[in-house]
Chain A
Amino acid sequence: QKEVEQDPGPLSVPEGAIVSLNCTYSNSAFQYFMWYRQYSRKGPELLMYTYSSGNKEDGRFTAQVDKSSKYISLFIRDSQPSDSATYLCAISSHSSASKIIFGSGTRLSIRP
């Protein structure tokens, strides 16, 4: 069983739509959950960082973690063409002192 599973997409939505991106993970020992955004041939950019279960909001982005079902979500409100990128979910057992395990990424395209 893969440690982190993510639907690779591609996902295409019209501008202004709400986007929902999801991942599942297998090991309940992980406590730190992240979403990174990656543009083509660039480095991953940290978008959202969550510890344990719950919601975290930052502008148009909301990250949600449900540890009971081992499910991670990222919601993007009022999506913009500039949001078009690959979104990587990631898990770690420590905030910044442990390796990150990445999902395969979901390619998102926002149509103007």
Chain B
Amino acid sequence: EPEVTQTPSHQVTQMGQEVILRCVPISNHLYFYWYRQILGQKVEFLVSFYNNEISEKSEIFDDQFSVERPDGSNFTLKIRSTKLEDSAMYFCASGEPGGSILAQGQYFGPGTRLTVT
């Protein structure tokens, strides 16, 4: 069964450093997302991406964040200058346009645990 994959599984970085989190969405999906989950809190939407551009972003997704689909398979989230409060699990998700009712919904990767020290 196809699945979303993410690398690395765990990233430790120092405050102020840049990090890039990588995702490979399900191959025929067209919608891509990043969410984050701070330990003990709910999963929060960060950004959605469709047709090579951001379609929606949350208040969390400020100028320090950017997303890119550099080739036909990868989808990345970059944090330019990490802060302590960026420590969280970051989940990538993908979805395809509505059609078969079995195919609807968003499918999540296993997450990257980001620790900022």
Which residues of A line the B interface, CB within 8 A?
Answer: 32, 34, 36, 41-46, 49, 51, 88, 92, 94-105
Contact = CB atoms under 8 A, between A and B. Distances in A.
Interface residues of B, number: 33
B24 to A, nearest CB: 13
Interface of B: 4, 29, 31, 33, 35, 41-45, 48, 50, 55-56, 58, 89, 91, 93, 95-98, 101, 103-111, 113
A43 B42 contact: no
A102 B43 contact: yes
Given A42-B110, A98-B48, 19 more contacts: A36-B108, A41-B113, A43-B4, A45-B108, A46-B106, A88-B43, A94-B98, A95-B98, A96-B95, A96-B98, A96-B104, A96-B105, A97-B95, A97-B98, A99-B45, A100-B35, A100-B106, A101-B45, A102-B44
19 contacts: A32-B104, A41-B89, A42-B111, A43-B4, A43-B91, A43-B109, A44-B43, A94-B98, A95-B98, A96-B98, A97-B48, A99-B33, A99-B58, A100-B33, A100-B45, A102-B43, A102-B44, A104-B41, A105-B42
A99 B43 contact: no
A103 B33 CA distance: 18
A107 B111 CA distance: 19
A99 B96 contact: no
B109 to A, nearest CB: 5
B23 to A, nearest CB: 11
B112 to A, nearest CB: 10
A43 B110 contact: yes
